[in-house]
Structure 1
Amino acid sequence: MTIKEKQQETVDAFAFMEDWEQKYEYIIDLGKELKGLPEDRKTDDNLIKGCQSKVWIDAEFKEGKLYFNADSDGILPKGIISLLVSIYSGHTTQEILDSDFKFIEEIGLQEFLSPSRANGLMAMTKQIKFYAVAFQLKS
């Protein structure tokens, strides 16, 4: 499945939910499904700067694709990073760099978040793009 298809699947899933309480629960459930990071990967290098909660993201490049794993000490940020990981993990660096984050606007996520959490969301998306650039330069 392409990044665009995964994004559209997310937009469609959010469209079926009637209110933000349901959407909030959905995001929290996504966080509960996230594998998380082992303690030795929760380093300052993997910590996303700009998030209200602690959010770590780690990337591994294998067989031409970038794989993400993440964790957070907050239940909502963990759900948000889980959503991003599910969309962008397993794709080439070029696919990630060619993609956009318009689906976030389409589901209205930024409007639902407090300004500090919205800043954290933007920091998460920037970190995913940063890893794509960094691994593209290495390959």
Structure 2
Amino acid sequence: MSNHPFGTTITAETIVKTVSAFTSWEERYRQVIMWGKQLPTLDESLKQDQLLVSGCESKVWLVSEFDGECWHFQADSDARIVRGLIALVLAAFHHQSSEYIKNFDTKAYFEQLELVDHLSQSRGNGLRAIVETIKQVTD
């Protein structure tokens, strides 16, 4: 599971830089969908109830593995935009230490992306639930 979820390294910095170049919400939304399409599909054998993230309206499965130094994540959803939101979260947290994840300012990150204000309340809650689940797992 040590491979990066995108096959290439896309970091939170890359995400912010890319998104900040767009002038409209629609452009940002399309880019988020594109990042979601780049996420590998989670193997069906891993789509188990105990791996579901609670608090998400859509189904979101999260698999985490710690190699003694860094955390590695795989995640998937049954909704296109949610896959994109997962991509944003994994860009920030995949292949990072517990300390880095604990100290990462997700609120500032999402504010820089100017996306959360455009999400439905349930999508925003789901996004926060994914982040909280990762922070709990890595604590």
TM-score class normalised by the smaller sequence? 0.7 to 0.9
Instruction: Give the helix-richer structure, 1 or 2.
Output: 1
Match of 1:132 in 2: 138
Q: CA RMSD in A?
A: 1.5
Give the aligned length.
Answer: 129
Deviations 1:76-116 (A, max 9, x none): 00111012112211011111112120110121221010011
Deviations 1:11-64 (A, max 9, x none): 221110121111111011111100121111111221111111111111011141
> Secondary structure of 2:51's match?
coil
Contact (CA 8 Å) 2:25, 2:115: kept in 1 or not? no
Match of 1:3 in 2: none
Match of 1:94 in 2: 99
Q: Which runs of 5+ in 2 are unaligned?
A: 1-10
Contact (CA 8 Å) 2:12, 2:91: kept in 1 or not? no
Once residues 100 and 44 of structure 1 are traced to their aligned partners in structure 2, the CA distance between those partners, rounded to angstroms, is 29
Contact (CA 8 Å) 2:54, 2:129: kept in 1 or not? yes
TM norm structure 1: 0.87
Match of 1:59 in 2: 64
Q: Which runs of 5+ in 1 are unaligned?
A: 1-5, 134-139
Identity, in percent, stands at: 34
The one-letter code sitting in structure 2 at the alignment partner of 1:47 is L
